[in-house]
Structure 1
Amino acid sequence: MNNKMLHQQHLITMSIFRVQVLVVLLVVVVVAVMASHCTGSSQLNDDVLGLIVFKSDLQDPNSWLSSWNEDDDSPCSWRYIRCNPSTGRVTQVSLDGLGLKGKIGRGLEKLQSLQSLSLSHNNFTGSITPDLSLLTSLRNLNLSYNGFSGRIPSNLLSMNSIKFLDLSENSLTGPIPDELFRNCSSLKFMSLASNSLEGSIPSSLFSNCASLGGLNVSSNRLSGTLEFSNGVWLLRKLRVLDVSNNVFSGTVGVGASYVHSLKELSLQRNHFSGSLPFDIGLCPHLTHLDFSNNLFIGAVPDSLQKLNSLTFFAASNNMLSGSFPSWIGRLSNLEYLDFGSNGLVGELPLSIGDMKSLNYLSVSDNKLTGGIPSTIVQCSNLLRIELRGNGFNGSIPAGLFDMGLEEIDLSHNELSDSIPIGSSRLFQSLHALDLSRNKLTGDIPAEIGLLSHLTYLNLSWNNLESRMPPELGYFQNLSVLDLRNNGFYGEIPEDLCEANSLAILQLDGNSLNGPIPEAIGNCSSLYLLSLSHNNLSSCIPRALSKLKKLKILKLEFNGLSGEIPKELSALDNLLAVNISHNKLIGRLPVGGIFQSLDASALEGNLGICSPLLKGPCKMNVPKPLVLNPYAYNNQRGRGDMGPQPQSSTPARLRHRRFLSVSAIIAISAAILIVVGIIVVTLLNASARRRLAFIDSALESIFSSSQRSGCPTTGKLVLFDSRSSEEWSQNTETILNKASEVGRGLFGTVYKASLGGDQGRMVAIKKLVTSNIIQYPEDFDREVRILGRVSHPNLMTLKGYYWTPQLQLLISDYAPHGSLNSMLHERSPSTPPLSWANRFKIALGTAKGLAHLHHSFRPPVIHYNVKPSNILLDENCNPKISDFGLARLLTKLDKHIINSRFQSTLGYVAPELACQNMRINEKCDIYGYGIMILELVTGRRSVEYGDDDVVILSDHVRVHLEQGNVLDCIDPNMTEYPEEEVLPVIKLGLVCTSQIPSSRPSMAEIVQILQVIKTPVPQRMEAF
């Protein structure tokens, strides 16, 4: 019994033990599951938390991230987020083009599984946070097209995992850190393009990034010698290399054959020199090759013909020489070919017709001769052809006008015969046709009116002879029509502007006659109308007042008559007008540009009423009614006294005699006035002789005092102190102590203290003695006139010091130097002038010169406008110095003119080289034009090379005609608005016109610059 009970108790005990064990196991399992669940939730919450923190630093104007909710357990359902399906962790964030603003905060650190982060095309600002290096799993990083600034963090790529890095199109500065490439063995593509990076490419990139297949550092400020043989060519897997638009130099050395996989090589717009690599043809996979805008010399390497895959080749704007390659036809896959602006000679080969894929061909501005090969019509895909600026002769191949070309430029050659008719295929495709400056004859084909898509037509400077074709009115899209300097005659077609698209109309230098048609008012888009040097007659039509966009009107050298319509004063956009050498009379319209025209725009008319003109003023008014002066008296006599006796005839004679006596008295008075003037002149001459005698005595006293060691005193006049005093110091000693800061045509400039070591710092110009006014009262009068000239952009004249032997001018000293020193003598540590400051200098200088030209009668001529006479204050505001010093010369003799040509070479207006020179405002405008060309290009007015001399205005004008004027812009100025720079360049070229009357006045220049700076929808594109 007891045993049985003990056994039962044992069984019960064992059961309880098993239950306890099961409970414990169950608790362990539950705890483990709960722990696992809690851990997973924590991981997901890290991603949610990180993205919410990242979002809190952003501005999302379009609410693209509205689905990002902090209450969600997982971000995997959010827009623009991708997760790993097995782990639930965020692996990709793609927020491209959402217009987001703000900075990259620290929230992204939580995304420890993130592999791809793309934030391109947004408005992120601030610096790139170095905390991105904590994302050790990151493979792709794209921050392009934002506003990131500052330097690239040196530890941004401290991990080995990164494969794709794009920081292009930002505002990053400073050098590329060498530490960036310590661990880059996985990097396959990197772009740092379009920033403001400086310095050289670190050598560690070439030695450590062995897997790099694409490198783009274009459009920065990178410089130095770019090593190819021991650098670039070490990247054996390189497929794409773009270092364009920098300041790299050196040669492209031998070694291209080692980069067997290279497909695209872009070296354009640098300073590379030497020959093109002769073994470039050993890169069989090359499709894109751009050597343009460098300093390459020599012949085109023959190995190029082996590049059967090449589709793009450009070598324009170099100094290549030798014959044009006869094997060019072997590049059968080439689509783009540009050899423009080199020195290639010979003829275009017939094999060019084998390039069936070619759609762009340019050999402009070389030295090619011969005819245009007829086989060129076999290039069936050709869309644009540019052969300008060569010596091509003969006829234009007729088949060329049967192709589907979009642009044809054959200008500046020696082509002759007539213009081909063309076919329906050309009528539907052609947009631009330029045949200017050839020797074409005949007339314009009537079929030209069928070019329905034509926007640009230039046939100027040929020998075309016919009536103005009425077909010109058929163009529906034409914006530029230039027929200058041909033999067109007849009247201007009435329907020329039916399409209302014409913006530029230039018909100068023909034999057009008749009136300007009233229908010209239909040209509502016109902003340049030039009809000068024709035989136009009748009145200026009032319909011109409908051209609200008109900026430039040139009607000079015609036979226009009558008065100028007063309605033209309502043309608010009008900036330049020339109506000289016509038969116009009457008053100028009140208001608008007509109140600031200078004499050159008005001269040569019958009788325009203007204070600028010396001729008679004729008004187009009815003649007054003339009554018989005796009629009223005779009627009174007959009425009061009855019939007059015969003695009335002697009375009439007595009246006539009375008039004769009056005339005699007037004549006598005139004679007395003339005699008085002669007497006064003789007295003045006598007084001057006495003054000359006194001056001679003073000179002898001065000479003896110098020999005896006694200092000579002179008259010091300071305008601001309203007093004159005797300067007892030895002036030569003062000038010897002063430091010379410049020399010019009129003297030497010194920096000196006016009152000893602690006095005011001033600039003292010691005038040359030759031809300087020697009479103190005349010198005082002229200098005081200059001292009264006050303007924010003029350096104020503070006073002068005078003795018969020494004349000094005193003005404020400019501690920040001249424009010349900022452009051409800048130290490497001094930053280059920005476009904003350059434009400020151009506009301020124009305002200062306009004040001199238009606020004084006679106008104050500077005579020596150049960058060394433009001084800059601390805010780069210009102040013109040395203005009006020609007033202090008794005469401008040949020595002075020759000295000016030598000291200011490049700034002298060409008309001053003539014997019968006439110094006027136009001479200043020429120098101003050269100055603003220097501002834009950073080059001197004249530069001497080893074999040639570069005249800046000619250099820029050639590039403008060739369509590559942007190549002239100062490479130190990496950021500039083209919509402002291009009109300023064109303004500079207009100011340097060889014909003085073609240069605008300074008032017009100020208005043009203000229009350029004003943000209007349509800016002036030509002058």
Structure 2
Amino acid sequence: MGFSHLLLHVLVCSLASLRGCMGSDNVPIQINDDVLGLIVFKSDLIDPSSYLSSWNEDDDSPCSWEFIECNPLSGSVSQVSLDGLGLSGKLGKGLQKLQHLKTLSLSHNNFSGDISLQLGLLSNLERLNLSHNSLSGLIPSFLDNMSSIKFLDLSQNFFSGPLPDDLFRNSLSLRYLSLAGNMFEGPIPSSLWSCASLNTLSLSNNHFSGDPDFATGIWSLERLRRLDLSHNEFSGPVPQGVSAIHNLKELQLQGNRFSGPLPVDIGLCPHLNRLDLSSNLFSGALPQSLQRLNSMNYVSLSKNMLTGEFPQWIGSLSDLEYLDLSSNALTGSIPSSIGDLKSLSYLSLSNNKLFGNIPTSMVSCTMLSVIRLRGNSFNGSIPAGLFDLGLEEVDFSHNGLIGSIPSSSSTFFSSLHTLDLSRNNLTGRIPAEMGLSSDLRYLNLSWNNLESRMPPELGYFQNLTVLDLRSSGLVGSIPADICESGSLSILQLDGNSLVGQIPEEIGNCSSLYLLSLSQNNLSGYIPKSVSRLNKLKILKLEFNELTGEIPQELGKLENLLAVNISYNKLIGRLPVGGIFPSLDQSALQGNLGICSPLLKGPCKMNVPKPLVLDPYAYGNQDGKRPRSISSPPARFHHHMFLSVSAIIAISAAIFIVFGVILISLLNVSARKRLAFMDHALESMCSSSSRSGNLATGKLVLFDSKSSPDWISNPESLLNKAAEIGQGVFGTVYKVSLGSEARMVAIKKLITSHIIQYPEDFDREVRVLGKARHPNLLSLKGYYWTPQLQLLVSEYAPNGSLQAKLHERLPSTPPLSWANRLKIVLGTAKGLAHLHHSFRPPIIHYNIKPSNILLDEKFNPKISDFGLARLLTKLDRHVISSRFQSALGYMAPELACQSLRINEKCDIYGFGVLILELVTGRRPVEYGEDNVVILNDHVRVLLEHGNALDCVDPSMGDYPEDEVLPVLKLALVCTSQIPSSRPSMAEVVQILQVIKTPVPRRMEIF
């Protein structure tokens, strides 16, 4: 018995409770190796449901145990299948004893830890399934001895890092490989191309990158049936040669950055039935060979840059069930042959350049359930009979369709859940039979010329959540039972000719969070029942004929964020609670007499005239003057009246002045909050006088008078651009602009809490644009719409310090001390420029390695500086909470609202950055039993005279007389007391002294 066998034997002995390891005659008991291995394997597991209770160490053989199968001839364990049992724990060493095991399947559990090299000792293993667990770490070359492996599934775990290039060198029998849903990176191992028997390869949802070797690699796997490389970071063209894989059935390359034309021979794979190349950068026309794919049932080429005419041969794909060509630049018309697609259930051609009529032959596609033609130039009428199909979703919006909405059968309205016909030229009435749509959830008929009354049947919708009938020519009154179902969340009736009162029954809309009735002819009072809409966030009633006072009960709506009641005939006091005290002038102006210090004009109240009290009646119940007191002279009455009046006038004046000051201060923040909500939805763009011209995009380039060609569709450009990073303010893309192919970085800002007024946004961005310095990433310009804000800046080709310091591949050399000191000094100079060259100073708030970019010579360039200026003043704590993700970099005072936040916050983050550069460690590191705070760790080492023990060993040789004072400087910068930290100008001076030759250097510390 070997040492490892003996060790496992001892472990089993410790588990056995009913018998010892020796027989009654002191004769050793021979334990079956399979029993031994499985019991040790079980001892490392947590089995909450006791599924493995039948595994008994006293049994001579495990063949009767649950989830175990044995070879009937040899009696050895051949299969262990523990899928979906809720097991957790590590993959212990016990499995190595199962030398005859052929199938090991542990999927859909919660195993953790890494893959042990011991698995490689299972030389007879043919199937290994570890998918859907929590395994992590790098993948070792554990397949070296597993030459029999045919099926390998490691998908849906947390494996990371690059794969060894020789990982599959001995896996020549491999037929199925899935590594999907992990965090692998780097290139595909070249040893995989030797697996000539492979028929399924799935590497989706990872971070694999580079230009895959299609020509001599993937296309050489002639037995491949399913290839899935989707949602990775692959780039470059896909060359010809796909036709070499004669048995290919599925090809999925979506969600990468593949470019160039589609392979012209892709249609020469006769068995191909699923093709998904969406969300890439493919260009050119569709290959003619595609029409030969008679077995194709799924095609998605959306979100590319495909051009040319819509294929007239589309009807030849007779088995097609799913077709998505949306978000390209296809032209031409839809051919009538599309009616030959009898199996088609999903059709999306949205956002192309198609024109002409919707072919009537589409009515023959009887299996259609989803049809999307949004954002084209289709004209003509909607084909009669199309709405008789069992459609579930119809989106014909943003076209030029004319005619009326077709009458429909009960089949249509019983299946429909989404109908969007907005922004066309439709006329006629709204079909009353729409009320039969029990499953309808979204109805948008806005921006048409219907000139119709609202059918009362609209209130019968049981599941309708969005009803948008803006600017659709509606007349008549609002039906009282419009909220009969209570499920409506958005009701938009703006820009019509509605008359009458707002129905009291509007209070039944218990789920409503947007109520917009502006620009109609509504009259009467605002019903008090609106106060029952506890979920309401936006209320827009401007430009109507509403009268009376605003119900005071509306002040109880705690969730209300935006209100506009301007240009009505309202009078009286505003509600004292909720959003109303902080409404600005634009939300109130144009009324008869609302009482607000923000408005000029009369304040009218619906109250009776005040009573004039006789001062002599106080204390006298009968109201008569005491006869014993003579009547005072008239002059005394006059003086007393003046005194009381003066007191009242002075008190009122003081109250009004105080109110004006208070409300003005509140409006500074309220205006920003209203702006955020005003631009949250398209309907909010037309009400405010300030936002009257916000719909169009605005491009500003500081260094150029010409606009690049992406101004017409920046969102489409970003969908095809290379994403290079994400941060707390948004996502960064690498984009080539203009004919000169100039490379820039474009940051797509998050919209929440970002300034929404163009003039404010322009002013703040121009300040940042003036911050030019060799160590600052220069801001080139911006693009602005209410829904999209982009910042255009210089592109740094060498990536971020974060990548060079903490995400370095083993093949990449570490940063030298010379480069690290260059980065420290350059970053200090850039921050000093921001702090000392501007008044008020530009504060970064978020200094960390991912915001330090490097050029070709490792000169640092600070990015994202001053972006906190683009935040609204609403909720001051936004600034600190936004940077909670930068754990370890945030100055302690950022968490305390009572302290004044200034440039000392940047100096703290800069000190942490120095510590990272010197030590190569992260600011906060989590161990199994403790948490290491980097600046505390270095401070303790310095106090004990061992500071150099923390220096990054990968750096190689370094001058101690430079490193030690830099470490000391970092600790001074990370002082807990802001006033104890030096200014950035002082930091630059200190670093320049440290960098000077030793004979000239002064003693700094």
Q: Residue type matched to 1:816 in 2? A: I
Q: Which residue of 2 aligns with 1:311?
A: 297
User: Any idea what the Cα deviations from partners look like across 1:360-407, whole Å, max 9, x if unmatched?
Assistant: 111111111111111111112111111111111011001101111111
Is 1:375 paired with 2:361?
yes
Structure 2: how far apart are the matches of 1:765 and 1:74? 77
Q: Which residue of 2 aligns with 1:474?
A: 460
TM-score normalised by L of structure 2: 0.62
Which secondary structure state, in structure 2, belongs to the residue aligned with residue 326 of structure 1?
A: coil
Residue among 830, 847, 853 paired with 1:816:
847
Structure 2: how far apart are the matches of 1:413 and 1:815? 45
Structure 2: how far apart are the matches of 1:618 and 1:53? 87
1:814–1:872 contact (8 Å) kept in structure 2: no
Q: Which residue of 2 aligns with 1:354?
A: 340
Q: Residue type matched to 1:90 in 2? A: V
Give the aligned CA root-mean-square deviation in angstroms: 4.5
Q: 1:564 to 1:307 in 2, by over 3 A?
A: same
Q: Residue type matched to 1:225 in 2? A: D
Q: Which residue of 2 aligns with 1:402?
A: 388
Is 1:118 paired with 2:105?
yes
Structure 1: how far apart are the matches of 2:129 and 2:319? 34
Is 1:59 paired with 2:46?
yes
How far 1:41 moved relative to its partner? 7.8
Q: Which residue of 1 aligns with 2:64?
A: 77
Q: Which residue of 2 aligns with 1:298?
A: 284
Residue among 131, 134, 150 paired with 1:147:
134
Is 1:490 paired with 2:521?
no
The structure whose residues are more often helix, as a share, is: 1
User: Any idea what the Cα deviations from partners look like across 1:209-256, whole Å, max 9, x if unmatched?
Assistant: 111100000111111112212211010101100001111112111111
1:508–1:532 contact (8 Å) kept in structure 2: yes
Which residues in structure 2 correspond to 1:802-951 (within 5 Å)?
A: 816=847, 849-850=873-874, 875=889
Which secondary structure state, in structure 1, belongs to the residue aligned with residue 167 of structure 2?
A: helix
Residue among 129, 148, 152 paired with 1:161:
148
Q: 1:578 to 1:304 in 2, by over 3 A?
A: same
Residue among 488, 492, 509 paired with 1:502:
488
Q: 1:52 to 1:609 in 2, by over 3 A?
A: farther
Residue among 97, 115, 138 paired with 1:128:
115
Which residues in structure 2 correspond to 1:1001-1016 (within 5 Å)?
A: none
Q: 1:812 to 1:363 in 2, by over 3 A?
A: closer
Q: 1:624 to 1:238 in 2, by over 3 A?
A: same
Which secondary structure state, in structure 1, belongs to the residue aligned with residue 385 of structure 2?
A: helix
Structure 2: how far apart are the matches of 1:357 and 1:334? 6
Which residues in structure 2 correspond to 1:521-532 (within 5 Å)?
A: 521-532=507-518
Q: Residue type matched to 2:247 in 1? A: S
Residue among 430, 434, 438 paired with 2:424:
438
Residue among 158, 161, 177 paired with 1:190:
177
Q: Which residue of 2 aligns with 1:996?
A: none
Q: Which residue of 2 aligns with 1:340?
A: 326
Which secondary structure state, in structure 2, belongs to the residue aligned with residue 365 of structure 1?
A: coil
Q: 1:581 to 1:873 in 2, by over 3 A?
A: farther
Is 1:224 paired with 2:186?
no
Which residues in structure 2 correspond to 1:557-956 (within 5 Å)?
A: 557-594=543-580, 596-610=582-596, 617-625=603-611, 741=776, 763=831, 816=847, 849-850=873-874, 875=889
Segment of structure 1 superposing worse, 612-621 or 88-97 = 612-621
Q: Which residue of 1 aligns with 2:94?
A: 107
Which residues in structure 2 correspond to 1:257-336 (within 5 Å)?
A: 257-336=243-322
Which residues in structure 2 correspond to 1:80-91 (within 5 Å)?
A: 80-91=67-78
Structure 2: how far apart are the matches of 1:828 and 1:56? 52
Which secondary structure state, in structure 2, belongs to the residue aligned with residue 439 of structure 1?
A: coil
Which secondary structure state, in structure 2, belongs to the residue aligned with residue 79 of structure 1?
A: coil
2:166–2:190 contact (8 Å) kept in structure 1: no
Q: Residue type matched to 2:873 in 1? A: L
2:143–2:170 contact (8 Å) kept in structure 1: no
How far 1:461 moved relative to its partner? 0.8
How far 1:63 moved relative to its partner? 2.2
How far 1:581 moved relative to its partner? 3.3
How far 1:743 moved relative to its partner? 7.0
Aligned residues between the structures: 687
Structure 1: how far apart are the matches of 2:585 and 2:313? 60
Structure 2: how far apart are the matches of 1:745 and 1:582? 45
How far 1:74 moved relative to its partner? 2.3
Q: 1:471 to 1:829 in 2, by over 3 A?
A: farther
1:415–1:439 contact (8 Å) kept in structure 2: yes
Which secondary structure state, in structure 2, belongs to the residue aligned with residue 473 of structure 1?
A: helix
Q: Which residue of 2 aligns with 1:452?
A: 438
How far 1:618 moved relative to its partner? 4.4
Q: Which residue of 1 aligns with 2:161?
A: 174
1:871–1:879 contact (8 Å) kept in structure 2: no
Residue among 358, 363, 377 paired with 1:391:
377
How far 1:814 moved relative to its partner? 6.2
1:357–1:381 contact (8 Å) kept in structure 2: yes
Structure 2: how far apart are the matches of 1:261 and 1:40? 58
Structure 2: how far apart are the matches of 1:243 and 1:39? 59
2:474–2:496 contact (8 Å) kept in structure 1: yes
2:426–2:448 contact (8 Å) kept in structure 1: yes
User: Any idea what the Cα deviations from partners look like across 1:950-1005, whole Å, max 9, x if unmatched?
Assistant: xxxxxxxxxxxxxxxxxxxxxxxxxxxxxxxxxxxxxxxxxxxxxxxxxxxxxxxx
Q: 1:327 to 1:90 in 2, by over 3 A?
A: same
Which secondary structure state, in structure 2, belongs to the residue aligned with residue 353 of structure 1?
A: helix
TM-score normalised by L of structure 1: 0.61
Is 1:256 paired with 2:242?
yes
Q: Which residue of 2 aligns with 1:512?
A: 498
Q: Residue type matched to 1:64 in 2? A: Y
Q: Residue type matched to 1:450 in 2? A: L
Is 1:241 paired with 2:227?
yes
1:158–1:180 contact (8 Å) kept in structure 2: no
Structure 2: how far apart are the matches of 1:90 and 1:579? 78
Structure 1: how far apart are the matches of 2:68 and 2:45? 17
How far 1:559 moved relative to its partner? 2.8
How far 1:161 moved relative to its partner? 0.6
Structure 2: how far apart are the matches of 1:168 and 1:175? 15
Q: Residue type matched to 2:154 in 1? A: L
2:63–2:70 contact (8 Å) kept in structure 1: yes
Q: 1:641 to 1:210 in 2, by over 3 A?
A: closer
User: Any idea what the Cα deviations from partners look like across 1:679-699, whole Å, max 9, x if unmatched?
Assistant: xxxxxxxxxxxxxxxxxxxxx
Residue among 25, 33, 37 paired with 1:50:
37
Q: Which runs of 5+ in 2 are unaligned?
A: 1-22, 618-622, 650-770, 782-824, 895-1005
Structure 1: how far apart are the matches of 2:246 and 2:388? 42
Structure 2: how far apart are the matches of 1:819 and 1:414? 47
Structure 1: how far apart are the matches of 2:869 and 2:44? 46
Q: Which residue of 1 aligns with 2:188?
A: 201
1:109–1:134 contact (8 Å) kept in structure 2: yes
Q: Residue type matched to 1:192 in 2? A: L
Structure 1: how far apart are the matches of 2:231 and 2:857? 22
User: Any idea what the Cα deviations from partners look like across 1:102-122, whole Å, max 9, x if unmatched?
Assistant: 211112112222111111111
Q: Which runs of 5+ in 1 are unaligned?
A: 1-34, 643-647, 667-735, 747-756, 767-796, 802-806, 855-861, 881-1023
2:847–2:889 contact (8 Å) kept in structure 1: no
Structure 2: how far apart are the matches of 1:374 and 1:484? 29
Structure 2: how far apart are the matches of 1:522 and 1:137? 69
Q: Which residue of 2 aligns with 1:545?
A: 531
Q: Which residue of 1 aligns with 2:817?
A: none
Q: Residue type matched to 2:180 in 1? A: A
Q: 1:56 to 1:554 in 2, by over 3 A?
A: farther
